[in-house]
Amino acid sequence: MTQNETDWRAVDFFCGAGGLTSGLIAAGIQVLAGIDVDASCQETYEANNSGAVFLERDLSSYAPVQLESDLRLHRRDDRLIFAGCAPCQFWSLIRTNREKSEKTKNLILEFQKFVEYFEPGYVVVENVPGISSKPDSPMSKFIGALEGFGYDVASGTTDMSLYGVPQRRRRFTLLASRVSSASLPLPRGGSRTVRDVLGVENGFGPLEPGAIDESDPLHSAAGLSKLNQERLKMTPKDGGDRSTWQNRPGYQLACYSTEEKKFYDTYGRMWWDRQSPTITTKFFSISNGRFAHPEEDRAISLREGAALQTFSRDYKFFGNGMASIARMIGNAVPPDFAKIIGEHIKSLAEDE
């Protein structure tokens, strides 16, 4: 089904590189636009999501009537979906720099004004679990507002590994409907592991640290110092960690010298037959988690991280260096999960 053959339409707020948009399109939903304040995402978004335009907008100064004009939207469209996956670092349960994310912590309430004005048939939100569990979070206000607008709301923490995403990725998921009962989709897609996605059998050729695969420039790995290369060579294959070398003279990490039994994921390898850890914005660095390849002495490549996020192998990423592309990949909603959400919304409408 092409985008022009469906009467389902969507707008992807905080769209980033387009993971959610890509999944909704795969579900047969016409995505009209992705909205984001980060202009660096535009080339990636539009190169991969034909028919969807990128609107560089700051929701704090962008009014619903402007969106109405930009996209010629109709209010109370029963087959219109608004997805609002706002930046969520402030509410993460993982230790992060709260000062850097302070100004974006309540963006979900900026999204709320668009829901109130347009009253779309369906609303989707994906965020970190902490946004629903912390007492000062804006999510409870947002849910209360949705219910006040007449929406039936279903929400909860989703383990995406139960939906075919080959990583341990837990996210708060909300689906609200103005025209039907709401529910979250049941797990489907199977339990996939790193072995199902990475490795030579899946088209990922061997790679040295700092090297780029000529057949796919995104299959590139960060460089490593000589010391870190030696550390990885001493780290057992398939799930090994730094415990094998942490007490050897010259190899111990000063930051962990008093915490020998903590943070073993750092500098650790992934396991072949388990899901990967959550793909974060720093997945290209072995010092930021268990992001070393299960077998090769390097961090996983950008393309491997994208594959673990379920982006298709031909998804193109454009950015100013490895860190900017990794940020797009790590922040994305996995397209395979987004497709399941889109299909579930359509099934809810059919049941009415």
Looking up tokens 């919304």 gives 345
Termini Cα distance of the chain: 23
Bridge partners, 282 (sequence order): none
Task: Decide: 92 and 132 in contact? Cβ < 8 Å.
Answer: no
Our answer to whether residue 88 is catalytic in this structure is yes
Residue 129, number of CB atoms within 10 A of its CB: 18
The C-alpha atoms of residue 109 and residue 191 are separated, in whole angstroms, by 35
DSSP H or E stretch at residue 12:
strand 9-13
Cβ density class 130-155: b for 16+ within 10 Å, e for less: bbbeeeebbbeebbebbeeeebbbbb
Bridge partners, 103 (sequence order): none
- If you ran DSSP here, which 8-state letter would residue 272 be given? T
The C-alpha atoms of residue 330 and residue 142 are separated, in whole angstroms, by 25
Task: Decide: 303 and 219 in contact? Cβ < 8 Å.
Answer: yes
Determine how β-strand 53-56 pairs with β-strand 122-127: unpaired
Name the catalytic one among 15, 41, 85, 88. 88
Q: Residue 25: name the closest of 345, 311, 235, 338 by CA.
A: 338
Q: Residue 77: name the closest of 117, 28, 112, 126 by CA.
A: 117
The C-alpha atoms of residue 187 and residue 332 are separated, in whole angstroms, by 20
The stretches of 72-188 forming alpha helices (DSSP H) are 98-101, 107-118, 130-133, 139-148
Cβ density class 219-253: b for 16+ within 10 Å, e for less: bbbbebeeebebbbeebeeebbbbeebbeeeeeee
Provide the annotated active-site residues: 88
